[in-house]
Amino acid sequence: MNLKKRSCMLGIFGVILLLLLDQFTKYLASAYLKDGHSIILIQNVFQLHYLENRGAAFGMMQGMRYLFVAGTFLMLVLLVAVYWKSPMEQRYRWARLVLILLAAGAMGNLIDRLYQGYVVDFFYFELIHFPIFNVADIYVTCGTALLILLFFFYYKEDDLEALISFGKKKRQDHGG
């Protein structure tokens, strides 16, 4: 099996594994928290609290399910295309990891929106009144943070061009 196919198989396996974890935690939240019973893990700091989020991050744009579904499908197509076209050098492993995290997070919440009409959220940091979130949100947040760090401190301009070039040859300036 060539390196590209192996990388894609590992990427698919990673997304599936992350999706299973996300969906399992949402199942547990629905089974044990949906009745309105919260589980306090650290008094006045952190708890598990069930919420049906019909909006986007932080509950914004409530009721725009079809816009989120369409946007998520477009984002997934872009993530898959960038993953497929990414160079197979070891230097780009971090970028592929980011793409796996973003895809798993997007798909985790997409599954909820398609089958339930809302996203199940259940982690609540009461201490800072942070909006309730879920495991898929953690994937997207960590993936985005890692992407920002990579862009600022690891990848150079040529690396970024290689990631998003979609097969275009770089123009070489030979001088003279």
Q: Which residues are catalytic?
A: 121, 137
> What residues form DSSP beta bridges with 119?
53
Question: Of the candidates 51, 48, 76, 46, which has an alpha carbon nearest to the alpha carbon of residue 62?
Answer: 51
Residue 70 tokens read as 């369409």
Assign residue 39 a region (left: φ > 0; alpha: ψ between -120 and 50; beta: otherwise). Answer: beta
Contact yes or no for 47/32 (Cβ under 8 A): no
What does 30-52 look like in DSSP terms, one character per residue? HHHHTTS--EEEETTTEEEEEEE
Contact yes or no for 139/20 (Cβ under 8 A): no
